[in-house]
Amino acid sequence: MRTSKMYERIKWYKKEFVHNQYARIVEPFKDYEKITAVKMLDAIYKVYEDYNNIIDICTVRELKYIEMILDGNSSMKELLDDKYDWERKTLHGKFLVETDYPDRVFIPDEIIDKVRVAIKNVNWTTVKKLNDLNEILVSYCKIQASSLLNTVCLFGSMMSGISENDIYNHVLHNKVFNYYVMIYPKNIEGLGDNIYVALYQDYYGIEEQIDEERMKQGLAGDLPIDSKIYKTLFYNDFDINNKKIKRFLDEIKKLPFFWTSALDIIREFAVLNIDRKPLKNAISNVPALKNCDLTNFFKILDEAMDEMPSGVLNGFTPNEAKKIKIEENKNRYEKEKKYIKQKNACLSREDAKLFYKIYFGLLEFTNNKYKIRSNYKIYNKKGINPYDITDIIDVFWENKDVIVLEFCLANPYKFNSEELKLTCEFKKGIRDMFIVAKFYEEYTAVMNKERTYMIKGINDNLDNVISYKNLPETVIMTILPFKDVLIYDGVIMNFGIKMGNDFEKIVNSELSRSIKFYHL
């Protein structure tokens, strides 16, 4: 007997499928072992009790398809047409439409009244605007596999003209975006703890592999931006407008096996950009393909996968990656030709000793004032590594004006007049994000948004601290005057992020035109 009740159908669903969908829709959700499929459906339908949530979790295409089902003017043959495959699949995953019957599609009885109210109250203009934004944001996350949430917001703002803050609020609360993309805090080396990341939901199971491969293969550069590609990728796993990919999709459908399951594996191999031999072996070992000559198909497969964006390549395709590598090798050769080893680009040994005497005196004073580390000795203590006391350094630079003033008034270490004068100069220090742009023989050029500063190292030339091969390098550092030159405070926080060839060209161009400042 046919039924239109989802509660009577749910027992036939795999629990893994139900939980995957439930976790995308319900917040907060329970762990797999702690909830049954029926209870998960209860929680989903409780969300849908507010008809606005039905509107918010659907795209325009999904809502239009639901409208077709409800108005009764479309035949069942039309509703089952292949052109609505995407709508049926996504609505089925959201338990708004039942599609498990080969000859019919329907809205479950339990929610049909709420769905009717939702369709009557759709503001199509608003939904269309949100839809356009989600096509960009979700597709970007699909291409990248995972990305810093701030980067997603920056990209979305650049593409849409909407402020980053508004984009940020959108991705945190929009149900369509959160159906496809998981947002969570993550500890990222070089950036800190609890950094929010956006992970495309389908890649949850291979997240660790993505991170590992990205460390090996990650590229930097400006992705080519074509809004048509993002629109296409939102509704498809592949860029069906690419001729080589389209040819591959046409060819795989001709093979006598369940090819749709193979596409998920192919997509993962493309995201990871790893050796394709295991993939080809898996396809070759399908019993139905044992007697097929797959030589030409694998050639078509390779050509298509070379055109597929890879998350571990930071959104570039393997073909684009090859071009970037060629350009990087060319730039590396040019750098080696132009590089001049630094000489006399740091303080004298005597001045370096004096700098640390003053700086460590200020830092011990800071520690005592703000009680950061109890009974911790810094001043005149040998073997202190500035990187081991960054917590104290951070507090000092956040409160430098007050600390320097109080220190000079108290003069706890009996500094002479020259030392106190140098101490007062610490108030001029600038703590900021800088680009270490170029090494000159006696100076290092560092840039922020305002100026280009020519600085010296302390105990060593800066080209012994940062390799010239890595320039330009984006860092957090503090520059300050000391005697008649600018220096940094001995601590450089390196992000370890590659910025790409285009970024280097922009920096070099800006550097060649900028005024160089040797004093604050």
Q: Which domains does the chain carry?
A: 6-122 (no CATH), 125-232 (1.10.10), 349-517 (no CATH)
For the chain, give me the number of helices (H) and strands (E)?
Answer: 24, 10
Q: What is the dihedral sign for C-alpha 475, 480, 484, 490? A: negative
pLDDT at site 2: 42
Q: Do 351 and 483 touch, CB atoms closer than 8 A? A: yes
Helix (H, G, I), strand (E, B) or coil at 415: coil
CA–CA distance, 45 with 67 (Å, rounded to integer): 19
The pLDDT value recorded for residue 503 is 80
| 112: number of Cβ within 10 Å | 15
Supply the DSSP symbol for 496: -
Let me know: does 448 contact 507? Beta carbons within 8 Å. no
| Whole-number pLDDT of residue 461 | 97
pLDDT at res. 3: 45
Per the listing, tokens 């005024």 go with 515
- Residue 383 has a pLDDT of 84
CA distance 15 to 280: 30
Cβ neighbours for 406, distance < 8 A, ≥ 6 positions apart: 365, 369
pLDDT tens across 419-447, in order? 999 999 999 999 999 999 999 999 999 99
**Residue 215 and residue 211: Cα distance in Å, rounded?**
6
Of 499, 443, 441, 510, which is closest to residue 471 (Cα–Cα)? 499
Enumerate residues 6+ apart whose C-beta is below 8 A from 193: 185, 187
Count CA atoms within 13 Å of residue 348 on its CB side: 5
**pTM confidence score:** 0.74
Hey, which residues does 430 pair with through a beta bridge? 479
Counting as low any pLDDT under 70, the low residues of the chain are: 1-3, 190, 224-225, 496-500
Residues 6+ apart with CB under 8 A from 327: 501
Contact 474, 499 (CB under 8 A): yes
CA dihedral over 131, 133, 135, 141, signed as positive or negative: negative
pLDDT at 279: 96
The predicted pLDDT at position 497 comes to 64
179-160-27 Cα angle (round to 5) = 20
Q: Which structure tokens are listed for 110?
A: 């339990």
Structure token digits, residue 513? 């035109």
Q: Are 481 and 428 in contact (CB under 8 A)?
A: yes
What pLDDT was estimated at residue 65?
Answer: 97
Crossing angle for the helix pair 417-424 and 400-410, to the nearest 10 degrees: 170
pLDDT (0 to 100) of residue 1? 31
Query: In a 3-state reduction of DSSP, which class is residue 247?
Result: helix
